[in-house]
Amino acid sequence: MTMRMDRRALVTGMGAMLVAAKAPPVAPLPATLVKPPRLRPGDVVGLIEPAGFTDDMFDLDLVKETIVAMGLVPRPAPHLAARHGYLAGTDKDRAADVNAMFADPQVRAVFAVRGGWGCARILPLLDFATIRANPKLLIGFSDITALHMAFAARAGFTTIHGPNASSNWGRFSWDGFRAVAFDGAMPTFANPVSNEDRLVPRAGRIRTFHPGKASGRLLGGNLTVLAALMGTGWLPDFSGAILFIEDIGEAPYRIDRMLTQLALGGVLGRLAGVVFGQCTDCGASGPSYGGFTLSEVLQQHLGSLGIPAFQGAQFGHVANQFSLPVGVRAEMDADAGTIRLLEPAVA
C-alpha cells in the first residue's frame, strides 16, 4: 500500500511539473477556418503517396476501384508508382505531386494512398500559397499527420484525419466519411456496439482518465509524428484544443517518452481535452514484465492534467475508424467516450 501511494504521489508531482513547462513558438490558427467544398458524386479526386511507396500494382488497382465505388473519379499523381528507397519517389517528386493536385482546378479533394514515413521531409517544398488559394479536403492518417498539422498551421482550412485510400473502408468507415465529407453532417462519433458473445463485451470499450466535457478545435493524429514535429514550427497552436492521438507498435516507455515531450513542449498544458484512440500492438511484453502498462502511462500523463480525457476511441491503425475533421470545433464527453462536431467540415 505504501509503495502504491508513493507512486501516486510521484505521478501527480510529475504531471504538475510537466504541465508547467513553456512551449516554443507555434503557428496561431486563424480565427475562422476556410471550409473546403463538400464531395459530390462524379468529383475528381487526386491520389498521392507523400510518404511510403506501394510496390504492388494490384494494390493500386484496388485503391482506384475503391474510389470509383465511392462514386468518385480517381486521378493518380504522376509519381504514384515511383520508389526511392523506402519512399514513394524523391522528396522533390512527392512534394510536386501534392502541389500539382492542389493547383489542378479539376481535382476536388486529395486522398493519401498510404502512410509510412516521409511527409515531414517534403514540408519545406510545399507551395502553401497555392495550397491556401485552393482549399480541398486532404484525407489520410498515420504519417499524413505531418500534412494535417502543417495545413492547420499554414493553409487555414479543414482536412480529414480518416482512412487512407488503401484502407479497409468497411461500412463503419465509409458511412462516417460520407457523412462528414459528402453530407456536411455534424455527427457524434461513438464506438460501434460490440456483437461479441460475452456477458461483458471487451471490444469498443473506453477508459476515462478524467471525467467531464470539453469543447475546442480537433487537432492531432499520430503521436510519433506529432512528437517529431515539436520545435519545428510546423505545428499549429494547441491552446484550447481537443488533442486526439493514436499510434502503432510503440512500447509503453516510448509512449511515455513522447507524451513527456509534448508536456515539456507546453502542448499538454494548453489543451481543453484529450482523446487517445487506438494504440495497436502497444502492449507490454513478456510474462515477467514489471514496467508501466500503457494504461498506467496514459493515466500518469492525462489523468493529472485536470481536463476531460479518455482512451479507446475508434481511430488509429484499425480496420474501421472515425473520419475526424482537423481544425473543426467539437465537444468531447470523457464519460460517454464520444466526440460531437459543433460545425460542419465542408461548405
Summarised one tens digit per residue, pLDDT across range 20-29 is 444 445 667 7
Predicted local confidence at residue 336, as pLDDT: 98
Average pLDDT over the chain reads: 91
Residue 19 has pLDDT above 70, yes or no: no
Whether residue 318 has pLDDT greater than 80:
yes
The CA distance from 218 to 324, in Å, is 8
C-alpha–C-alpha distance, residues 226 and 221, integer Å: 7
Q: Where are the domains of the chain?
A: 9-27+188-193+202-336, 44-182
Which overall architecture, per CATH, does domain 44-182 show? 3-Layer(aba) Sandwich (3.40)
Q: HSE on the CB side for 10, CA within 13 Å?
A: 8
User: Sorting pLDDT into bands at 50, 70 and 90, what band is 6?
Assistant: very low
Beta-strand relationship, 309-311 and 324-326: unpaired
Active site residue 246: yes
Whether the per-residue pLDDT at 281 is higher than 70: the answer is yes
C-alpha dihedral sign at 97, 100, 102, 107: negative
| pTM (two decimals) | 0.91
> What pLDDT does 196 receive?
78
CA-nearest of 232, 306, 230 to 264 is 230
Query: Mean pLDDT throughout 34-53?
Result: 98
- Catalytically annotated residue among 49, 161, 317, 331: 317
Q: Given the C-alpha cell 484512440, which residue does it identify?
A: 277
Q: Please determine, for residue 12, whether its predicted confidence score (pLDDT) is greater than 80.
A: no
* Per-residue pLDDT at 22: 44
Per-residue pLDDT reduced to its tens digit, 211-258:
999 999 999 999 999 999 999 999 999 999 999 999 999 999 999 999
Return the higher-pLDDT residue of 17 and 239.
Answer: 239
The reported pLDDT for the residue numbered 27 is 66
Q: Indicate whether 134 pLDDT > 80.
A: yes
pLDDT reported for residue 130? 98
Residue 7 has pLDDT above 70, yes or no: no
Bridge partner list, 112: 48
Check whether 327 has a pLDDT greater than 50.
yes
Please indicate whether residue 122 or residue 9 has the higher confidence score (pLDDT).
Answer: 122
Q: What is the mean pLDDT of residues 271-299?
A: 88
> Across the strands, what pairs with 210?
309
| List of E strands, 155-308 | 159-161, 188-189, 207-210, 213-222, 242-248, 273-280
Average pLDDT over residues 271-286: 91
Q: What was the pLDDT predicted at 198? A: 82
Amino acid at 304: S
Interatomic CA distance for residues 89 and 254, integer angstroms: 30
Question: 287 pLDDT band (50/70/90 cuts)?
Answer: low
Mean pLDDT of 32-59: 95
Residue type, 85: G
E strand map for the chain:
44-48, 73-76, 107-112, 137-140, 159-161, 188-189, 207-210, 213-222, 242-248, 273-280, 309-311, 324-326, 329-333, 338-341
* Least reliable range by pLDDT among 58-72, 185-199, 327-341: 185-199
The question of whether 317 is a catalytic residue gets the answer: yes
Q: What percent of the chain has pLDDT over 70?
A: 90
Distances (CA, A) of 120 to 86, 146, 229, 233, 341: 14, 6, 8, 12, 28
Cell numbers 515539456 correspond to 264
The domain 9-27+188-193+202-336: what is its CATH number? 3.50.30.60
Which of the following is catalytic: 49, 79, 142, 210? 142
- Which letter does DSSP use for residue 143 in this model? G
Per-residue pLDDT, 329: 98
CB 82 within 8 A of CB 89: yes
Q: Smallest Cα–Cα separation from 143: which of 122, 129, 171, 173?
A: 122
Average pLDDT over every residue of 253-280: 97
pLDDT at residue number 188? 98
Catalytic residue among 246, 250, 323, 331: 246
Instruction: Please indicate whether residue 142 is annotated as part of the active site.
Output: yes
